[in-house]
Chain A
Amino acid sequence: MTAVVETSKLSKWYGNVLGLSDVTLEVEPGISGLLGPNGAGKSTFLKLLTGQIRPSIGTVRILGQRVQNNPSLYSRIGFCPEHDSFYEDMTGWVFLTSLLKLHGFAPAEVRSRAEKALEIVELSADRDRLVRAYSRGMRQRLKFAQAIAHEPEIIILDEPMNGLDPLGKRKLIRLIKAYKEEGKTVIVSSHVLPEIEALTRTIILIHQGKIFARGDIHYIRDLIDTHPHMVAIKCADPRGLAAQLLSEDYVLKVHFGPDARSLLVETSNRDRFFARLQSLLVKTRMEVEEITSPDDNLQAVFDYLVGK
């Protein structure tokens, strides 16, 4: 797949403070989650991508074009900033149509695009209210609307779910996923792990201005050799199962649950472990209630990588 966003040795200093260090990556169409704690460099990275700041070193190319001093590229990029800031004296409608006018659309097209975007974010009924009277969730949705109203190919969202209630978050997640289905590229930043996890499995982990890892979350998890994989099994005879598993060299530890019906296995090779488990279960005809991987999620990967 062709990379839509390419960065090479991208670094940014704010005086003596390092914002981003030596980031070389490619982002392909689909949803990419930019994940990191507050102050990790997510916003700096997104500002560099959108040309709001210049790199100290390195380059950014979007759709094969340079970003700096290339305003025409912005008709293909939609950006939702992190700050909860608006032209407060405008109504939602005026805010949206004003920004669409800057794209040079004809008045009729401005209106139809604004109507469509407001409909998507379910703000049509509130379009004539002043933005200052909007709730936090409505403001977030309006910010999202201005990022998508001109139908860009790349949508860059900086913490778009801040301030949204669970229902609002679910709706936004569904919307973002719909853009993925249309073949668009969406880059979403967040410091909240479950938000990213609900959106995508393709993540970019950023911490202290550096990219710690990128790719599929499972792939990244597999690369972490210093931490064994955990597999939790609920079955009728956990001790019997454990006895058979412990003979394998890739099974490192076994913990039994207090309910006497579960065990937690630590393994250095997840694929071999699951193959062996499958054959054992078939051979012994043991009934298993549940098999889960408690550390095969973003939180665990993130904690491992940042050394928690």
Chain B
Amino acid sequence: MTAGSAADLRSFLRSAGRVFAVFFPQGRKARRTRSFFLFSFLPVAVSLVIKFNQIFSGKPGGGNGYLFNNLIMLFYLQLIILILALFYGTSVCSEEVEGKTLPYLVTRPVPKAAVVLGKYAAYTVVMIGMVTLGLVFSFLILNLDRLLDPAIYRVLGRYLGVLILGVMAYGALFTFLGSFLKRSIFFGLLFCFGWENIIQYFPGSTQRLAIAHYLKSFLPATSSGRFSILTFHLEPTRPGLALLMLFLITAALLALACLFFTKKEYILDD
């Protein structure tokens, strides 16, 4: 890398950092964040119900690892992070166009791509904050009797990693959709509950066309039981490759979003 391009990169990252500094507090305080925060705590409520049921029925919590993996994690991966990423990701670009606030941003000394990356980073951190908190509570509730066992925290770390990767990848995908589609929420919903929730169960290599496939590849393998329908046909990719794929997907989609946002001329409706 030449000295000039290194300076350009530093300047670009500083610009993205400034955008982050503006939109992170806004994303945190936004009214929708309160609603989504409650929404992301639904698995905590489910975990509480399960735990109370176990306590009052006198059943041991031995199968809680299985329950967490196949119920709570799926709840997060197939519903919560999809919905959060859909609304926050698409809003990175579209809220500026629909709210007609775009001229305030694009007439500042920050590259348009830095606007996209800075806002994406800000909203991703907000989403990660919401989902990880819920996930940690759910996990600890279901593992209440094993809190002193260090092994469970390694598992928790893995779950958190999967969730963060999921938020990043889906956030990038919906940022990309929001940068060029007018009805990005509609198409995003079709993608979430159409493509992602169907393709991942296809046998063979077709399932590799879904982001969920790579996320689920990190989850501990469990024998199919009551929830076999949810794990049926999963042919996991090796974790290293899955990680690489998720990073590549995220980077490529963000690059496309930046490209669209930089090149596209947004017409602000009167």
Chain B residues engaging chain A, CB cutoff 8 angstroms:
14-15, 18-19, 21-22, 26, 29-31, 99-112, 265, 267-268, 270
Contact = CB atoms under 8 A, between A and B. Distances in A.
A72 B110 CA distance: 7
A90 B103 contact: no
Contacts of A85: 99-101, 268
A52 B26 contact: no
Interface of A: 14, 50-54, 71-75, 77, 79, 81, 83, 85-87, 89-90, 98-99, 101-104, 146
Given A89-B26, A101-B18, A102-B18, A83 B109 contact: no
Contacts of A89: 26, 29-31
Contacts of A79: 103, 107
B120 to A, nearest CB: 16
B18 A77 contact: no
Contacts of B106: 51-52
A20 to B, nearest CB: 13
25 contacts: A14-B267, A50-B103, A50-B107, A51-B106, A53-B265, A54-B265, A71-B110, A71-B111, A73-B109, A74-B107, A79-B107, A83-B268, A85-B100, A87-B99, A89-B26, A89-B29, A89-B31, A90-B26, A101-B18, A101-B21, A101-B22, A103-B109, A104-B15, A104-B18, A104-B109
A105 B170 CA distance: 33
B190 to A, nearest CB: 27
B258 to A, nearest CB: 13
A86 B107 contact: no
Nearest to B12: A71
Contact of B107 (A77, A87, A101, A104): A77
B35 to A, nearest CB: 14
A98 B119 CA distance: 13
SS of A interface (majority): loop
B199 to A, nearest CB: 36
In this complex, the member of A51, A71, A103 whose beta carbon has the largest number of chain B beta carbons within 10 angstroms is A71
B20 to A, nearest CB: 10
Nearest to B115: A102
Contacts of B270: 83
Contact of B101 (A50, A87, A103): A87
A139 to B, nearest CB: 13
Given A54-B265, A72-B109, A85-B101, 9 more contacts: A50-B107, A52-B265, A71-B15, A71-B110, A71-B111, A74-B108, A79-B107, A85-B99, A85-B268
A186 to B, nearest CB: 15
B88 to A, nearest CB: 15
A87 B100 CA distance: 9
A104 B11 CA distance: 10
Nearest to B263: A54
Nearest to B98: A85
Given A85-B99, A89-B26, A102 B268 contact: no
Given A14-B267, A54-B265, A87-B99, A98 B22 contact: yes
A232 B100 CA distance: 48
In this complex, the member of B14, B22, B30, B265 whose beta carbon has the largest number of chain A beta carbons within 10 angstroms is B22
B232 to A, nearest CB: 44
Contacts of B102: 52
Contacts of A54: 265
